[in-house]
Structures are given as C-alpha cells and as structure tokens.
Amino acid sequence: MLNAARNLRKRGVLGVNERNAQMIMKYNPRHLYPRVDNKVLTKELALTAGMAVPELYGLIGHQSELRNLSKIIGERDSFVIKPAHGSGGDGIIVVTGRSARKRECFRLASGVLVMESELQYHTSNVVGGQYSLGGNPDTALVEYCVEFDPIFAEVSYQGVPDIRVIVYRGYPVMAMVRLPTRMSGGKANLHQGAVGAGIDLGTGRTLGGVLDNAVVDEHPDTGALIAGLQIPGWNFILESAARGLEVTGLGYLGVDIVIDRHHGPLILEMNARPGLNIQIANCMGLSGRIARVDKIQGDAAAPDARAKFARREFSATSSLS
Ligand SMILES: Nc1ncnc2c1ncn2[C@@H]1O[C@H](COP(=O)(O)OP(=O)(O)O)[C@@H](O)[C@H]1O
Ligand SMILES: [Mg+2]
C-alpha cells in the first residue's frame, strides 16, 4: 500500500488540501451548495435541464406527515427512502420487494424483512435529522428503486452500482464505477465497503478495482473479474456528466449516475466535494488532467464537445492522460 501511495504521488495525485484550495474554493461558490447538498433540489434542477432522474414518489418534510408514508408507498413493491441532506449512503433504505406470504412485510436489499412500522420509525429519524449535516431537521424522499442493468449482475452484490464522473470546469476528467458488496448493504458508497473500479474515459471500459484503498481484481462476493466491463451508453453518460456544470454552476463536481434496465442512465446525485480515492481506482492522479483543462480554457464549449474532448484526451491509451 505504501508503494502504491508513493507511485500515485509520482503520477500527479491531488491531495485534500490542494483540492480544497484550488478547486473547491475557486470554482464552487458556497451559495450554490444547496443545489447539490439537497437531493430534492438536485432532482428538480436535473429535471428542468431535461435530464432523467429516479422518479420521486413523495416527500415527508415533517413528523406530522409521517402518516402519509403508507399512501406514498401504496401498492408499490420496491422503493428507496433517503434523507435529502444525507451523504455517504447513511440513512438510505433500499426496499426491493415484499414478502410473498405477508404483503405488509417489506424486503430490504440485504434480504432482511421489515414491517411498515419500522419504515415509519426510520423515516421519523430521517426527518428528525439523524442523518443530516449538523443534525438539522431534514426531509425524507421516497423514490423509484433503480433496477440495475444486467451488465452489472456479476459484479454487484444486492445493490445498484453507480458511476461517478469528476467534472472540472465542465470537462469530465476521471470516472469510476462503484460496486456494492455484501458489506456495503445495497449501497455503492466506498465508505460502506463498496468496490471502486476505474473507467477508461476513452472507451467506457472498466480498469482494475480498489477496496478500502487496496487493489483488487475480483469482486469480493461474486468472484467475477472487475476489469474489462463495457459500460453501456458511455458517450451519453459523459455528456450528461458534463452538463452538470450548467445544471449546478459548480466548477468542480462529482456527478453520480445509475443505469436502470428500463429507463437507462439516471442522475442519482451530485457532489460539491467529491472524494479523491477515485485516483486510486484509476491508478492515476487528477493533477495532469486538471492542468490540461486549464490550458485549453474552453468553458464556452458545449457539453457534448467537452465530453468528446475528455474521450480523446483522457483515454487510458492517450499519452497526456
Ligand atoms: N433510487 C435508488 N435505487 C436503488 N439504489 C439506490 C437509490 N438511491 C440510492 N441508492 C443506493 O444508495 C447509494 C447512495 O445513494 P445516494 O443517493 O448517492 O446518497 P449519498 O449522498 O448518501 O451517497 C447509491 O450509490 C445506490 O447504491
Ligand atoms: Mg452517493
């Protein structure tokens, strides 16, 4: 691991201080943060921009609205409950079905069965601010549960993988796919124990994986190889990510996209302080790519042109990558 870290430094790895000072302070004005820190607002903005998102079934913004949960769920078999101001996968419940014998019992991604009263209790904690920054009162979203594209079946365990694209001044500069594991409980957050796999921006094919900062070749639960997967609709994904600049106004952004088997790529969320271990998953630092974008100063270019630039300049085989 130490060797890996040393090698990465040589490869222009961006550190936290540098990221904060040079990207976040410079390109992410504070007043725009709510656009990405509040998942309800992000959804609205993305929809207004014509981007697809998981359908919102309903909101619970106050304890007195808890009784609406039953109505929002209705006869649905699957849905997700999450805090509007959550992060790192905390407070998210992924309901994938109901018990065949007892419809009032819901099955979670982990396979565990829970009663509706337990979902209510959880939602009450979300609204109470248990998962929001600073413990502030929050809103719970109930939304469509994404059914992942079959391409990921071999490399995910009980959950939906998401694709993270780092977008700098509107240009995609690095990407990875995060694959849920038994440990991550149906969520694709690295801190919950998901595997991250780098993606070749040029082709949309996965490179090697990383689990807890260590390099892995196989998915820990399924044993399937992580490298060499072709992400479907790659051009569209890069173009959607690039549009994150227009949607949020943020110059340094992590755009998270999931691929639904019925609806195709959907914007799941966006992040103004995306983590840096994407560099480990790609065995590549961000600094060189950031400098390359700064040099062309093409902020005026349209999203599709910016995505095209990224495919050309930052492919795994490109000398400048
Ligand atoms: N609508 C959904 N359908 C299926 N899985 C979801 C859904 N929303 C979230 N998840 C799972 O939970 C993870 C975290 O969700 P996300 O909305 O990105 O919140 P956070 O800000 O906590 O990361 C996702 O990466 C995904 O694996
Ligand atoms: Mg996320």
What's the pLDDT score for residue 277? 87
Measured by CA distance, the residue closest to atom 13 of ligand 1 is 187
Ligand 1, atom 10: nearest CA belongs to which residue? 187
pLDDT of residue 10: 66
Does the Cβ of 88 fall within 6 Å of ligand 1? yes
67, 73, 78, 83: CA torsion to nearest 10: -50
The CB of 92 under 6 Å from ligand 1? The reply is: yes
Atom in ligand 1 nearest the alpha carbon of residue 54: 1
Closest ligand to residue 181's CA: 1
Cα separation values, 35 from 46, 84, 85, 264, Å: 10, 11, 11, 23
pLDDT band at 321 (very low <50, low <70, confident <90, very high): very low
Band the pLDDT of 51: cuts 50, 70, 90: very high
Nearest ligand 1 atom to alpha carbon 39? 17
Helices 287-296 and 303-313 cross at an angle (nearest 10°) of 130
Q: What is the mean pLDDT of residues 228-234?
A: 95
Mean predicted confidence (pLDDT) in 310-318: 87
**Residue 8 pLDDT > 70, yes or no?**
no
160 lines ligand 1 (CB under 6 A): yes
CB distance 200 to ligand 1 below 6 Å: no
Q: Whose Cα sits closest to atom 15 in ligand 1?
A: 89
Task: Please give the mean pLDDT across all residues of the chain.
Answer: 92
- Please determine, for residue 214, whether its predicted confidence score (pLDDT) is greater than 70: yes
Spacing, Cα 268 to ligand 1 middle (Å): 7
Domains of the chain, with CATH numbers? 2-53+148-313 (3.30.470.20), 56-143 (3.30.1490)
Which of the listed residues 94, 108, 149, 182 should we mutate to test ligand 1's pocket, taking the one with most ligand atoms within 8 A of CB?
94
Between residues 208 and 140, the one the model is more confident about:
140
Q: Is pLDDT at 320 greater than 60 in this prediction?
A: no
Q: Return the ligand number nearest the Cα of 91.
A: 1
Tens-digit pLDDT profile for residues 245-299: 999 999 999 999 999 999 999 999 999 999 888 998 998 999 999 999 999 875 5
Identify whether the C-beta of residue 205 lies closer than 8 Å to the C-beta of residue 199: yes
For residue 268, give the ligand nearest its CA: 1
Nearest-atom index, ligand 1, CA of 271: 21
Q: What is the mean pLDDT of residues 118-147?
A: 96
State whether the beta carbon of 269 lies less than 6 angstroms from ligand 1. yes
For the CA atoms of the chain, what is the radius of gyration?
A: 19
**Helix, strand, coil share (%) of the chain residues, nearest 5:** 35, 25, 40
What is the CA(74)–ligand 1 centre distance, in A?
21
Other Cβ atoms within 10 Å of 275 Cβ, number: 18
Please give the average per-residue pLDDT across 293-317, as a whole number: 88
pLDDT surpassing 90 at residue 67: yes
The pTM of this model reads 0.93
Residue from 95, 162, 255, 278 to probe ligand 1 pocket by mutation (most atoms less than 8 Å from CB): 162
Tens of pLDDT, residue by residue over 69-117, are 999 999 999 999 999 999 988 999 999 999 988 888 999 988 899 999 9
- Bigger pLDDT: 134 vs 33: 33
